[in-house]
């Protein structure tokens, strides 16, 4: 509940900032037609996998790479799954991690969720995962794109490319 509230509070402040920016434009007497909106992102997902949880049916990490071929930045703002009740985004620093509401996707760049870094945490699976299973993850981005990926469950020690 409080997370929801915080998110809408953030959206509210974003709107306020946009209004302020618009006011400044008018004050400057630009006069020209408001040109195209902010540049678009062009997103794709690669290298997604879930290492088999150490405890059967327990908490799992999720890894993937978001590639952005567009000139606009974006943000991963929500991840959910029809097969697990809880999917959260975590940022890692040294030996600690914290849950975050959004992860940045740079323009012409990548957002990497990988071992030792940012990651997803997946809990409350409907059915205990096994190697070879796939879990659908639905990724929602700030600019309105939603991308669904079928993420394979891999052995605990798997690494992409191996």
Which residues are at the interface with Cu ion (CB under 5 A)? Answer: 90, 97, 121
Number of residue whose CB is nearest Cu ion:
90
Q: How far is the CB of 62 from Cu ion (least distance, A)?
A: 10
Q: How far is the CB of 159 from Cu ion (least distance, A)?
A: 18
Query: Smaller CB distance to Cu ion: residue 62 or 129?
Result: 62
Query: Smaller CB distance to Cu ion: residue 61 or 147?
Result: 61
Find the helix or strand (DSSP H, E) in which 9 lies: helix 2-27
Query: Smaller CB distance to Cu ion: residue 90 or 154?
Result: 90
Quote the tokens at residue 102: 């959004």
What is the DSSP annotation of 81-117? BTTEEEEEEEEEETTEEEEES-EEE-TTEEEEE-TTS
Query: Smaller CB distance to Cu ion: residue 97 or 107?
Result: 97
> Where do we find the tokens 């915080």?
6
Cα 43 from Cα 51, distance rounded (Å): 24
Q: What is the largest CA-CA distance in the chain?
A: 63
Q: How far is the CB of 97 from Cu ion (least distance, A)?
A: 4
Per-residue b or e along 56-94, where b marks 16 or more CB atoms closer than 10 Å to that residue's CB: eeeebbbbbebbbebebbbbbbbbebebbeebbbbeeee
Q: How far is the CB of 120 from Cu ion (least distance, A)?
A: 8
Query: Smaller CB distance to Cu ion: residue 107 or 112?
Result: 112
Q: How far is the CB of 84 from Cu ion (least distance, A)?
A: 14
């Amino acid at each position: 509940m409080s997370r929801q509230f915080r998110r809408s509070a953030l959206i509210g402040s974003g709107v306020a900032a946009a209004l302020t920016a618009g006011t400044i434009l008018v004050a400057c007497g630009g006069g020209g037609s408001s040109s195209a909106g902010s540049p678009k992102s062009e997103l794709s997902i690669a290298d997604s996998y879930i290492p088999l949880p150490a405890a059967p049916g327990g908490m799992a990490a999720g890894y993937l790479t978001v590639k952005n071929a567009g000139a606009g930045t974006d943000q991963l703002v929500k991840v959910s799954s029809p097969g697990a009740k809880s999917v959260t985004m975590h940022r890692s620093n040294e030996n600690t991690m914290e849950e975050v509401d959004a992860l940045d996707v740079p323009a012409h760049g990548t957002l990497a969720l990988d071992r030792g870094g940012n990651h997803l945490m997946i809990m409350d699976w409907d059915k205990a995962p096994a190697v070879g299973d796939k879990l659908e993850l639905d990724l929602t981005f700030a600019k309105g794109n939603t991308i669904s990926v079928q993420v394979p469950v891999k052995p605990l020690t798997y690494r992409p490319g191996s």
